[in-house]
Amino acid sequence: MIRFCFGTISLSGRYLKVVCLVVIVTSDKLRLSETKSMTQIAFFVVAIAVVVFLEFSNFSRSKEWQATITPLASIVGSGFLVSAPLLVRSFGGFAAPAMMVLVLLAFFFGWAIRYNIVVVESELDKGRDKLLSSMEELSHIILAFAYFISVAYYLSLLGSFLLTSFGIRSNHWGTVIALGLLLGIGILGWSGGAERVARLERFATTFNLAVIGGFLASLAVLNSQIILDGSAFSAVAGKLSTASIPVLLGLLVVVQGFETTRFTGGRFKADTRTKAMRDAQLISGIIYLVFFLLLLPLYKDLQQGEGVAAVITVAGSVGLILPAALTIAAMGSQISAALADGIGNVGLIREVTHGKVDARHAYLLVTVIGMGILLATNVNEVISLASRAFALFYALQCFVAFEAARKRPQDKWRSFAFLMLAIVATAIFMFGHAAAA
């Protein structure tokens, strides 16, 4: 189009410049339109491929994958969208290394819990070590409280995602939506319907992973187009200070979820569960790091965005269909995760009270305490509170691993490592705080 402008139109110099400017702008708009079309094609192709694989392949029906998909979905389901805006605002261009620190922290905590699956569970079954049994029971009580917070966390995010999709930024209405959903879960649990609804989790998980895969493909196309065109983007400077560390610690919950395999002993053997946890953490870690690297051209937009759901708004510059797809996937993953954690919490409450609190009253407890958390905090504070609660659970699990390892001569070096991890997790519990909104 530019060659046509110079070769055919015969006008005075002043008008020639105007005509050429119009043609160049039109060319840039067409190029932008082409890029968005390509990103959307990539999104649909990859998303459909993921759905086909997860629903119809023989591998997806294997016991190994069934054990892996639950922790994998839990890790990437909630943290995938909120991690980027919070880390980019707090760390700027260092967001990807900050994410790597969280991934590594979670992997080491997972290592301690995997040790407990292999070694401690058999010791607990024997019932000889009273200290070990007491520490394990205390960790379950802490996890029950962590689940109270996590249900509120998931529903707070859902409210934020829903409002963002309509261009509304309001903590008040986000809390109202979360309260309504929590009340609905309480009614479902009281009536015995929560378990039936939670069976839809598999389809929500499939859709969520398909959208994540499609979004990564779209970002890859965008980055490829930038490289091929030789375009430049405004790099965001890295930020790092002593004030950044507590914020990073307060975001541990975005990589939480791997511990679910600790409590699936009724369905899977110990070696299957340890492999599933390790695979889920490796896959989710790769997804997170690739995501942050592919987002580099959009860091500036994320810094200027508002709220924890800023990725949904920014996604509109990549492809027109992406904000709607991300919103639906986020809502589905949050409600399924809230139901799953609610059900898990009911089981823990019955366990720690030795059956004195039945399922119906446990759901009532989940609803009342969850409502109190939602009314007392905003979404960023809930994220930090959930991180600290899970950090305390990880600390206790690391202490359990330390106590078991120090009594085994072959595991002396592990006992020291578990003790160091317990101290780190305790520091997260004590010093982690909310990121800026």
Q: Which residues 6+ apart lie within 8 Å of 76 measured at CB? A: 208, 209, 212, 284, 287, 288
Give the pLDDT band (50/70/90) at residue 233. low
Cα-Cα-Cα-Cα torsion 282, 283, 288, 293, nearest 10 degrees, comes to 100
pLDDT per position as a tens digit, 291-307: 999 999 888 888 887 76
Cα-Cα-Cα-Cα torsion 200, 203, 207, 212, nearest 10 degrees, comes to 90
Whether 338 and 151 have beta carbons less than 8 Å apart is answered as yes
Tell me the mean pLDDT in the region 183-198. 78
What is the C-alpha separation between 234 and 336, in angstroms, rounded? 38
Tell me the mean pLDDT in the region 129-137. 86
Whether the per-residue pLDDT at 218 is higher than 80: the answer is yes
Mapped onto helix, strand or coil, the DSSP state of residue 306 is coil
Residue 235 in tokens: 């790099």
pLDDT per position as a tens digit, 334-355: 887 787 778 788 888 888 888 8
Residue 177 in tokens: 């939506």
Whether the per-residue pLDDT at 21 is higher than 50: the answer is no
Residue 184 in tokens: 């609905």
Query: What range does the domain containing 80 cover?
Result: 35-431
What is the pLDDT, as a whole number, of residue 246?
85
Closest CA relative to residue 287, chosen from 257, 266, 310, 245: 257
> Does 269 fall in a domain?
yes
CATH no. for residue 390?
A: 1.20.1740.10
What is the pLDDT, as a whole number, of residue 283?
92
> Does 310 fall in a domain?
yes
Q: Which of 7-11, 22-26, 41-45, 193-197 has the highest mean pLDDT?
A: 41-45
Distance of CA 126 to the CA centre of its chain: 37
What is the pLDDT, as a whole number, of residue 294?
92
Whether 352 and 171 have beta carbons less than 8 Å apart is answered as no
> Does 1 fall in a domain?
no
Amino acid at 101: V
- In this predicted structure, which of 53-62, 128-137, 236-245 has the lowest mean pLDDT? 236-245
Residue showing tokens 């809930």: 382
Whether 264 and 67 have beta carbons less than 8 Å apart is answered as yes
> Does 333 fall in a domain?
yes
DSSP 203-255: HHHHHHHHHHHHHHHHHHHHHHHHHHHT----PPPB---TTHHHHHHTTGGGG
What is the C-alpha separation between 148 and 169, in angstroms, rounded? 25
Residue showing tokens 């992997």: 107
Helices vs. strands in the chain: H and E counts, helices first: 17, 0
> Does 65 fall in a domain?
yes
> Does 373 fall in a domain?
yes
> Does 3 fall in a domain?
no
Give the pLDDT band (50/70/90) at residue 22. very low
Whether the per-residue pLDDT at 414 is higher than 50: the answer is yes
Domain tally, the chain: 1
Closest CA relative to residue 382, chosen from 179, 238, 191: 179
What is the pLDDT, as a whole number, of residue 33?
59
Residue 183 in tokens: 């009340």
> Does 25 fall in a domain?
no
pLDDT per position as a tens digit, 23-73: 333 444 444 456 677 888 899 999 999 999 988 888 888 888 888 887 888
Whether 389 and 149 have beta carbons less than 8 Å apart is answered as yes
Give the pLDDT band (50/70/90) at residue 290. very high
